[in-house]
Amino acid sequence: MERVKLIELLNDMSLEEKIGQLMQLSSNFYEDEAVLTGPAMEFGIGENEIDQAGSTLSIFDPETIKKIQQKAIEKQPHHIPLLFMADIINGYKTIFPIPLAQGCTFQPELAKECAVVSAKEASAGGLHVTFSPMVDLVRDARWGRVMESTGEDKYLNSLFAKAIVEGYQGKQLKDKGSIAACVKHFAAYGAPTAGKEYNNVELSMRSLREDYLPAYQSAIDAGSAMVMTSFNTLDRIPATGNKWLMQDILRNEMGFNGVLISDWAAIEELISQGVAEDKEEAARLAINAGVDIDMATNIYIKHLAGLIQKGTISESQIDKAVLRILTLKNDLGLFENPYKDLNPEEYSRYNLCSSHRELARKAAADSMVLLKNEGILPLKKSGLRIALVGPYTEELHLYGAWSLLGEDKDTVSLRVGMECAGSENKLYCIKGVNLIPDQEFLYGFKGLVTERNPVTSDSFEEAVKAASEADLVIIALGEHAYHSGEGGSKADLRLPKQQRELFEAVSRVNRNCISIIFSGRPLDLRDISEGSKALLQAWFPGSEGGNAIADLLYGKVQPSARLAMTFPYCTGQVPVHYDHFNTGRPFNGDHKNRFQSKYLDIPNEPLYPFGYGLGYTEFGYSEVRLSDTLMKKQDTVTASVVVKNMGEHAGTETVQLYLQDQKASVVRPIRELKGFQRVYLEPGESVEIMFEINEEMLRFYNHNMEYTSEQGAFTIFIGENATTNNQAECYLQLD
Ligand code: GLC
Per-residue pLDDT of 41-51, as tens digits, reads 888 998 899 99
CB-based contact 721:655 (threshold 8 Å): no
Whole-number Å distance, alpha carbon 188 to ligand 1 midpoint, is: 15
Whole-number Å distance, alpha carbon 290 to ligand 1 midpoint, is: 19
Strand bridging mode 727-733 / 630-632: parallel
87 close to ligand 1 (CB < 6 Angstrom): yes
Average pLDDT value for residue range 150-172? 98
Atom of ligand 1 nearest to the CA of 131: 10
pTM over 0.85: yes
Residue spans of alpha helices (H) in 193-268: 205-207, 214-221, 243
- How many other C-beta atoms lie within 10 A of the C-beta of residue 85? 24
Quote the pLDDT of residue 35.
59
Whole-number Å distance, alpha carbon 377 to ligand 1 midpoint, is: 40
- The enclosing H or E element of 679 equals strand 672-681
Distances (CA, A) of 612 to 184, 442, 561, 565: 27, 32, 8, 9
Single-letter code of the amino acid located at 329: K
Atom of ligand 1 nearest to the CA of 184: 9
Long-range contacts of 78-81 (CB under 8 A, 24+ apart): 78/9, 78/12, 78/13, 78/17, 80/9, 80/17, 80/21, 80/54, 80/326, 80/329, 80/335, 81/329, 81/334, 81/335, 81/338
Quote the pLDDT of residue 735.
86
Q: How far apart are CA 45 and CA 26, in angstroms?
A: 13
Asked whether residue 451 carries a pLDDT value surpassing 70, the answer given is yes
Asked whether residue 34 carries a pLDDT value surpassing 60, the answer given is no
Whole-number Å distance, alpha carbon 147 to ligand 1 midpoint, is: 14
Whole-number Å distance, alpha carbon 263 to ligand 1 midpoint, is: 6
Average pLDDT value for residue range 268-292? 98
Number of H helices, E strands in the chain: 22, 29
Whole-number Å distance, alpha carbon 39 to ligand 1 midpoint, is: 19
486 close to ligand 1 (CB < 6 Angstrom): yes
Q: Of the residues 129, 131, 149, which should be mutated to test ligand 1's pocket, given the most ligand atoms within 8 Å of the CB? A: 131
Q: How far apart are CA 384 and CA 390, in angstroms?
A: 19
Residue (of 373, 366, 680, 380) closest to 544 by Cα position: 366
Q: Which residues pair with 517 in a beta bridge?
A: 477, 537
Tell me the Cα Rg of the chain.
Answer: 27
Asked whether residue 428 carries a pLDDT value surpassing 60, the answer given is yes
CB-based contact 502:389 (threshold 8 Å): yes
Atom of ligand 1 nearest to the CA of 58: 12
CB-based contact 486:145 (threshold 8 Å): yes
Which domains, from first to last, does the chain contain? 3-10+17-228+315-347 (3.20.20.300), 355-567 (3.40.50.1700), 619-733 (2.60.40.10)
Whose alpha carbon is nearest atom 12 of ligand 1? 87
Per-residue pLDDT of 563-575, as tens digits, reads 999 999 999 999 9
Percent of the chain with pLDDT over 90: 96
CB-based contact 124:345 (threshold 8 Å): no
CB-based contact 233:241 (threshold 8 Å): no
Whose alpha carbon is nearest atom 8 of ligand 1? 263
263 close to ligand 1 (CB < 6 Angstrom): yes
With a CB cutoff of 8 Å and minimum separation 6, the contacts of 170 are 116, 119, 177, 178
Quote the pLDDT of residue 422.
79
Strand bridging mode 651-661 / 712-719: antiparallel
Atom of ligand 1 nearest to the CA of 132: 10
CB-based contact 566:127 (threshold 8 Å): no
Percent of the chain with pLDDT over 70: 99
- Catalytic residue list: 263
Phi then psi for residue 382, to 5 deg, are -150, 160
Atom of ligand 1 nearest to the CA of 87: 10
With a CB cutoff of 8 Å and minimum separation 6, the contacts of 82 are 53, 54, 55, 56, 68, 69, 72, 338
Whole-number Å distance, alpha carbon 264 to ligand 1 midpoint, is: 6
Mean per-residue pLDDT of the chain: 97
Single-letter code of the amino acid located at 556: K
268 close to ligand 1 (CB < 6 Angstrom): no
Quote the pLDDT of residue 439.
86
Average pLDDT value for residue range 682-694? 98
CB-based contact 53:16 (threshold 8 Å): no
269 close to ligand 1 (CB < 6 Angstrom): no
Going by pLDDT thresholds of 50, 70 and 90, the confidence category of residue 217 is very high
Average pLDDT value for residue range 264-290? 98
Distances (CA, A) of 526 to 144, 187, 368, 438: 20, 33, 18, 23
341 close to ligand 1 (CB < 6 Angstrom): no
Q: What is the DSSP letter of 233?
A: E
Q: Please give the distance of CA 249 from its chain centroid, rounded to a whole number.
A: 23
Atom of ligand 1 nearest to the CA of 134: 9
Q: Of the residues 27, 60, 85, 87, which should be mutated to test ligand 1's pocket, given the most ligand atoms within 8 Å of the CB? A: 87
Strand bridging mode 651-661 / 23-26: unpaired
Q: Of the residues 138, 263, 267, 405, which should be mutated to test ligand 1's pocket, given the most ligand atoms within 8 Å of the CB? A: 263
Whole-number Å distance, alpha carbon 350 to ligand 1 midpoint, is: 26
Asked whether residue 305 carries a pLDDT value surpassing 80, the answer given is yes
Q: Of the residues 264, 295, 403, 404, which should be mutated to test ligand 1's pocket, given the most ligand atoms within 8 Å of the CB? A: 264
Going by pLDDT thresholds of 50, 70 and 90, the confidence category of residue 39 is confident
Whose alpha carbon is nearest atom 3 of ligand 1? 263
Whole-number Å distance, alpha carbon 294 to ligand 1 midpoint, is: 13
264 close to ligand 1 (CB < 6 Angstrom): yes
